Structure 1
């Protein structure tokens, strides 16, 4: 496209903006030629004539053929800046009132249906509640400049109201259509003063406006933060291309500097410093900066009907407010104290809370209605639901029990439910389970009964508490039934440290101990050697691994390799070297029946059994397997 055509082109939005601007101020506009975006002639009303300083304007949208009587309308021109300044001045504050479309009050009275109460007080009055519409100009500056207008609407409590089509994933039925609101709203007629002059419009307090603006600005800043993510994703590739171009260019410049032309390297260092400076400049130029400024705001006065009601059930009262939007007809109903949902059917609980049908609970003791937030808790004993007034809190489990199912503990004095109390199995006193101990001696059924501290005695033997105690006949001390044993000699009961276990596991008291004739130590019992008949204690005698008899130390053999104990009668010797062998580890040869040691043993390569060396031939076969090789395997003909 030629350069002349590019410079002569007029943005369509600029031409349309000019027409809309003068149409808004009721200024007649005439076309001076037949071109699509040709020159215009505007007759200014008195208000605009005073502002522009002349009653008529001739407008052109390009420099070609521009005479002295024409004003240029273009971005950055003097006339265009004055038009924007006038709009900014006029649009900084807009005060409008929404129409009253729903005048009836019957729907408001039908918006509440008390379940267990009646309406004892009613006041109806009209109000005008403002909606605050803030338009924020958000400017994004980096290597380019972007601007957007972002609108935030808040109510008088500072709660943000959603706008229809404002980037929502799913349509919100309660979203506001701002274009419809502004189209339906009407200017508020100014009030006249005593002197007959119009008074300034009544606005909310400045502190209220500032608070609402600060709240709306937080939403605008959050929106700008989200947009910065996408903007920075677009900026980074451009920054990379710019830095890549710079580094490539300066890299070539540095390589082209010969050593003979730059013996000190000053030129190269200068190029490197210049590259670092330009890189820092480009990084700074591509740094995203965001500015959020208030462009304009509007106050939309919404007519509402407010009904202040008082509900009473004869014992207590609760205040309730219903609000109906006269513009949309929407009704703000009562809110359940428990779930926070709007409801028509309301119930008054014992605490004066309003609750819906789904959140009604009833105390089993007083039969009063309780909301779900206050709630009823089941009794740990009977399971009946009790409210906070009728129930008693158990200090042990934290449950809310019936008044008849709790009692003070006689030990600590805390109020505890019956589930958390138990009776001592010995004295029968009922108290907290935390004070009771399990008896160390099990009952006949295997359980361990609970005993109180007054009845429990700590056994000096096992250090456990029990009430099943007995007296040691030797020391006179009291031991539990688990620690006392009956002497196998005299039949008396003795405690730990006053008896010894005999060879057969029987207990003998110290009075029944005898002296071992071998080691002269006191022992519970002695046994005669099965070979020589000498009496010995369990420490001085051993049991043969082969015959199971007890023999003395002189007639026992211990083999080093396996540590087996065998009496001398069953100790075997090798038939070849006459060395002692363990009959438990090395059995006699199955062919000749003679004992043999490891050195005089051999394994048959066919049956893999161990035999003495004389019973295994040079072929590696035992005598039995060698006979099978010669005579064959015999057949069982009886089968």
Structure 2
């Protein structure tokens, strides 16, 4: 029995126990889960009775039935008897099954080849059978018995305990195995026994952990109840008692954890050296001029048949095929090339096409130069640019020029994902990704091609522009083209047409936050071309900013004055007012008596007639002054001063065009 097909532990134990009793001449009959054993000879003396009912498994419950489990009376007695008989047995098995050539030929199914008459070869194979006890120690003790056979190639496998052992196996071997041979065989058997023990321990681990959790829960509950029942009248005594209970709990917990720690003991019970008679049959398969040989071996002791392995996958096979290279393969590895029809196998390199899954031989296959996958002639694509072959997954056809392309000569449109050759692909001027002509859009300003993801639409004129020729307003977040958006010359932020103005001095754009409004003309001005009045702190453009001759600071027209005699500008803080005409003058043009130079000259000016005065005044003299016939007049650049001689005494201040500026009585 192979390791993967072996029975459960109770079936192994039952086979082992029954094989022991049969070996010693007992008769056994089975009735369900109970074996009826009739003994004689030395077994009667050993067990003290002639008949026993043996039960295997957990379902047998009867007072008359002796349950056989690891550690039971019956099993321990069997092991004790085997130990007294000896630990090493050397046997040569007799021939129980005759091998015929026609029987072997009927077992082989060669659908596409002829088979010759088998050539037989008789041989003896030596096996070492080790009976090993596995003891699993934790809070419970569980024992298993395993039988492991190691062949002359040192290949170990698990077998039924009764394999090769019966009443006819009494021919002793003449040649014993050497110590080196036995040691090598035992090492392989020990490795397999360790794997069996590890698997079995893993199966028992969950139940062991459940028992440990239950035990820990029980301990916690017990010691918690003890702490709650302790009197707390004396704090010092209660504290000492609590520490004692905690120490006892920790000690008990460590003891239970150690008690539930799983340990496995592997112990050799006995072993045997067995020579098994085998027949090796060689069968030749022929088709046309092709020859192939297949080997079958038959155990003449048990009748078991071992077929030779497939030349491609090594799997034992009786359904055979002969490929065109002379390989004998199983049906699963046989292939027929879908292109040329040649019969081949997997070992010859026949592989399915990565596109259509058709089997392709090495003569008809093509290799995709991109993924190295196999592709048939029908599905192979030859690149129209470089001539390389490619499969359908790696190759494509250009969506514009319809040329077949390999993975190296193709690219994909970043927008639609369509395949393109490098000659037909356009490059986005911003992200440099390829884009096809149907998806590319030209910027309305620079005319360069862009992918749709890199273009924006002006929210004012709906023009399509690239990021180099568009701005997003920092105030309203709308996008504008070069005509409807600009960058503020002061703060450097983008502003749309609704949130930016044009500086009246330099003509550059300035945002509404950075722009100043001239207090005189009301026009926008940037901070580079504008200034502020030193008196009222209002914004001024260069055209309306006056520089004081005295302090050098700038002032607005409201808070600056032009001195009439000398023409200099003075701010309101440094202007002096004439006590006669009440006009503002600089400190150079006002005397120590608070009279301006004009008023000083006016007192000494010659007397002129009314006609001469009316020729200077735009619109003539006021009606109430028409009776005054004599006047003194002084004129300088943009200022005229008229002083009446007589009553009523009036001082008229006119500008250069004769318009009245001030009238002083």
| TM-score of the two chains, using structure 1 as the length reference | 0.46
TM-score between both structures, scaled by the size of structure 2: 0.45
The structure number with the bigger radius of gyration is: 2
Higher RCO, Cα 8 Å, sep 6+: 1
